[in-house]
Amino acid sequence: MKLRHKMGLVVFLLTAVLAVVLVLISSTLIRSYTLHGATQYAQTVAEMARTALTESMLNGTTPTLPRLKSRLAETQGLVGLNVERSPANIEQFGPSQEGLPHLDAISAEVITTGRPLYRLEQDQVQAVFRATIPYIADSHGEPNCLSCHQVPEGTVLGAVTIRIRISDILERSYWASLTLAAIILLFVPLLLYLINRLYRPIIRAAEGVESAVARAGDGDFTTRVQTSGSDEASRIAASFNRLMDLLENGLIRISGQIARLVQYERPTNGHLLTETIRAVDELVDAAQFKQAIEEDETKTEVYQRLSQVMRTKLGFSRFSIYEVDDAKNKLVPTLIDGEQSAENRWCDAQILARSESCRARRTGHPVNAFEQPGICTMFVGKGIEPGLEHVCLPVLQSGGVGSVVQVVAPLDEKPHIDQQLANLSVHLREASPVLEAKRLMETLRESSMRDAMTGLYNRRFLEEYLDTLLAGVARNKTQLGLLMLDLDYFKQVNDSYGHEAGDRVLIELARVIRQSVRASDLCVRFGGEEFLVILNDTDAQGAMLLAEKVRAKVEEMRVQLPGGAIQKTISIGVADYPADGENFWQVLKYADVALYAAKEAGRNRVERFVPEMWTGNAGEY
């Protein structure tokens, strides 16, 4: 119910109650005044009767009751008059000779108590007021009662009963009360009009505020309260409108700043306040996310944390994270559906060999197949599960694309994808500089762990990585094949052709070694022309086969120099960890001893370490 209707109903009820109360009060007062007037009237008539009777007795005449009634007949409303003698009066003068009826109970009570009684007697025709008033002997009055009656003063001499018709008076009082109630009820419309006119601005302002607040609760802050005049209601409405202007403009400005900050068009459901709060919460989450990943040690940890956010907070179940390898011009799957080092699933394998085939990588712009189906030809998810589409977001680093994040979902999840893309974009923007810093740190660390000329790991890397390597061997109960390699007569190359030619030979040798081993094997430039190859999960026999393969390829190697081509050979020593010893560095020494034995045996050969070779010191070669 609206406020104006409530006020109208309240005013009507109050007026009705007031009318009823006034009618009741007026009826009660009129009745009281009527009875009071009848009482005074009866007392006057009784006094007239007493005076008339006393004067008759003093004059020696005996008036009869009919003659007394005749004298009072003209009294308005008088319908009955009876006089009864008390026992004391009867004892002195005898009973009345007027043929009066026997005393009724009321008259007997009045004569006995000496107190008047008043009754309102109502029958089906009319209302009659009865007053029974005692006559009491009094020597002070005029005429003197004791001059005739021989009784003590104060003795009840009799009682006069008077009946007066008051129906007409009561009826007129009731009609007066009804007239008063009618006048009050007729005044109600005027009262309602005046109250409505007085409170209309307040009611209008209240209804306007109610409507504006209801719309604001639904996200619409454009509703304003109409104002007119300069009263309190108008000032309240004006203040409310200024508040709504401040809220609307502030929320629009905040939303615009957030859109500029995330550089992503955020979809809205029309609820400005809710969307703004959600956007701010997302920014706070992203800031906390950035703080967390800044404390991570490696890129892998950052990608895992990003994967956790995408799965738990954003609700993505199918997604991939690819890292761009600029050196090899390919994309490397980092996480596939949250699994690390999983196989590529949602895209054609071309992107793994040629990164430009990925549209997001090539253009540096988001690719949204929900908005533009078929925009990227590399997506193969529809063949895996019909109805799937994808969104790819490039992560820019140093002006280029460093990573690509892909989200895959059914078409019916498009509203959820649209809603969460802005949040994902914010997290990727926060992760971008951190990933770049981690990549730079890893590059710097990698460069300090690699030989600048050959690209192979150096001895420092071996020293740092060795504990991890040996822990894996112990955990998996596998073996390591150790190959120590050294070019034969390398010093002659530097002396004959110069150090530049020697560097060319070392570079080609490193290339041959890399091509001969597996990706899981470790190639180290141990120092000068000496190299170390650590073969994972390989026993001595397998190590010998690989060593012979490398020796043969080096023998076939031709290094082109400005003055022609040169050919070199290599000697290799082989040892087995932990078959040859439980101390890795001791086994490495055994491989070095085997290398010395190969040099002693004529070079360009492979030798397997046997205990007989160990004399406590490695040879020189």
Give the domain-ending residue among 154, 171, 188. 171
Q: Which residue has the higher pLDDT, 349 or 250?
A: 349
What percent of the chain is modeled with pLDDT above 90?
Answer: 26
Residue tagged 């005013």 (tokens): 11
Q: 2 pLDDT band (50/70/90 cuts)?
A: low
Does residue 99 register a pLDDT over 50?
Answer: no
What are 167's two structure tokens?
């129906």
Residues 389 and 277 in one domain: yes
Mean pLDDT of 373-382: 91
- For position 270, what pLDDT does the model report? 61
Q: 619 pLDDT band (50/70/90 cuts)?
A: very low
Q: What is the CATH number of the domain that holds 103?
A: 3.30.450
Residues 285 and 340 in one domain: yes
What percent of the chain is modeled with pLDDT above 70?
Answer: 85
| Domain-located, residue 261 | no
| Domain-located, residue 201 | no
Q: How many CB atoms lie within 10 A of CB 455?
A: 13
- For position 69, what pLDDT does the model report? 64
Residues 105 and 64 in one domain: yes
Does residue 618 register a pLDDT over 70?
Answer: no
Residues 423 and 468 in one domain: no
Q: Which residue has the higher pLDDT, 551 or 188?
A: 551
Give the domain-ending residue among 171, 197, 230. 171
Backbone angles phi and psi of 561, in degrees to 5 = -125, 160
d(CA 371, CA 365): 14
Mean pLDDT of 246-262: 71
Does residue 606 register a pLDDT over 90?
Answer: yes
Return the beta strands (E) in 205-329 as ranges.
318-325
User: Using one digit for the tens of pLDDT, what is the confidence trace for 411-446?
Assistant: 999 988 988 888 888 888 888 888 888 887 777 676
The one-character DSSP state at 450 is B
Q: 520 pLDDT band (50/70/90 cuts)?
A: confident
Residue tagged 């040690």 (tokens): 297
Which of 78-92, 197-211, 351-365 has the least mean pLDDT?
Answer: 197-211
| Domain-located, residue 179 | no
Give the domain-ending residue among 427, 449, 471. 449
What are 470's two structure tokens?
């040996």
Give the amino acid at 480: L
Angle between helices 299-308 and 272-294 (to 10 degrees): 150
User: Using one digit for the tens of pLDDT, what is the confidence trace for 260-291?
Assistant: 665 555 555 566 677 777 777 777 888 888 88
Residues 503 and 390 in one domain: no
Q: 60 pLDDT band (50/70/90 cuts)?
A: low
Residues 516 and 593 in one domain: yes
Q: DSSP of 323-338, one letter per residue?
A: EEETTTTEEEEEEETT
- For position 523, what pLDDT does the model report? 92
Return the beta strands (E) in 480-540 as ranges.
480-487, 522-527, 530-536
> Total structural domains in the chain?
3
Does residue 571 register a pLDDT over 80?
Answer: yes
Strands 457-458, 522-527: pairing is parallel
- For position 422, what pLDDT does the model report? 83
d(CA 216, CA 222): 8
Is-contact 240 247, C-beta < 8 A? no
Q: 63 pLDDT band (50/70/90 cuts)?
A: low
Residues 463 and 605 in one domain: yes
- For position 365, what pLDDT does the model report? 92
- For position 253, what pLDDT does the model report? 77
The one-character DSSP state at 150 is -
Q: Which residue has the higher pLDDT, 561 or 537?
A: 537
Does residue 5 register a pLDDT over 80?
Answer: no
- For position 621, what pLDDT does the model report? 37
Q: What is the dihedral of CA 360, 364, 368, 369, to 10 degrees?
A: -30
The residues annotated as belonging to the active site are 529
| Domain-located, residue 50 | yes
Is-contact 433 440, C-beta < 8 A? no
Mean pLDDT of 104-129: 82
User: Using one digit for the tens of pLDDT, what is the confidence trace for 142-187?
Assistant: 667 777 777 787 788 888 888 888 777 667 777 777 787 778 777 7
- For position 237, what pLDDT does the model report? 79
Strands 564-566, 570-577: pairing is unpaired
Q: 66 pLDDT band (50/70/90 cuts)?
A: low
d(CA 442, CA 446): 6
| Domain-located, residue 150 | yes
Does residue 531 register a pLDDT over 90?
Answer: yes
- For position 361, what pLDDT does the model report? 92
| Domain-located, residue 254 | no
Residues 371 and 512 in one domain: no
Does residue 395 register a pLDDT over 80?
Answer: yes
Residues 312 and 336 in one domain: yes
Does residue 48 register a pLDDT over 80?
Answer: no
d(CA 380, CA 349): 10
Q: Residue 420's domain spans which residues?
A: 273-449
d(CA 458, CA 467): 16
Mean pLDDT of 597-614: 92
| Domain-located, residue 526 | yes
Is-contact 462 524, C-beta < 8 A? yes
d(CA 66, CA 96): 13
Residues 418 and 518 in one domain: no
User: Using one digit for the tens of pLDDT, what is the confidence trace for 310-364?
Assistant: 999 889 999 999 999 887 888 999 899 888 767 888 999 999 889 899 999 999 9
Q: What is the CATH number of the domain that holds 464?
A: 3.30.70.270
Q: Which residue has the higher pLDDT, 268 or 529?
A: 529
- Average pLDDT value for the chain: 81
Residues 143 and 9 in one domain: yes
Residue 483, C-beta contacts closer than 8 angstroms, at least 6 positions apart: 532, 533, 534, 535, 543, 546, 547, 550, 572, 573, 574, 591
Residues 378 and 481 in one domain: no
Is-contact 393 310, C-beta < 8 A? no
| Domain-located, residue 97 | yes
Mean pLDDT of 42-70: 68
CA 130 vs CA 30, 33, 79, 486: distances in Å? 18, 16, 10, 150
The one-character DSSP state at 345 is -
